[in-house]
Amino acid sequence: MIIKILGSGCNNCVRLEANARKAAEELGITAEFVKVKEMADIAAYGVMRTPGLVVDEKVVSFGKVLSPEDIKPLISK
């Protein structure tokens, strides 16, 4: 599984990545985490508000920091 965090590296982006890592760890899921910081690359996903969360090339959230509990159902499918 590849989980991408879309954003410039702001505090919200850092928090979202930490929450996604925690959710994956708690579920026992092995995932590769990728940071996407270039605005052109972020816009290519159709995301205009960061942070964004992409799971296996599908945008599952943007514009908010999800908790680990919110992320778990998005990555356990």
Q: How far is CA 8 from the centre of its chain?
A: 13
The long-range contacts involving 57-62, CB below 8 angstroms and separated by at least 24 positions, are 57/2, 62/6
Active site members: 10, 13
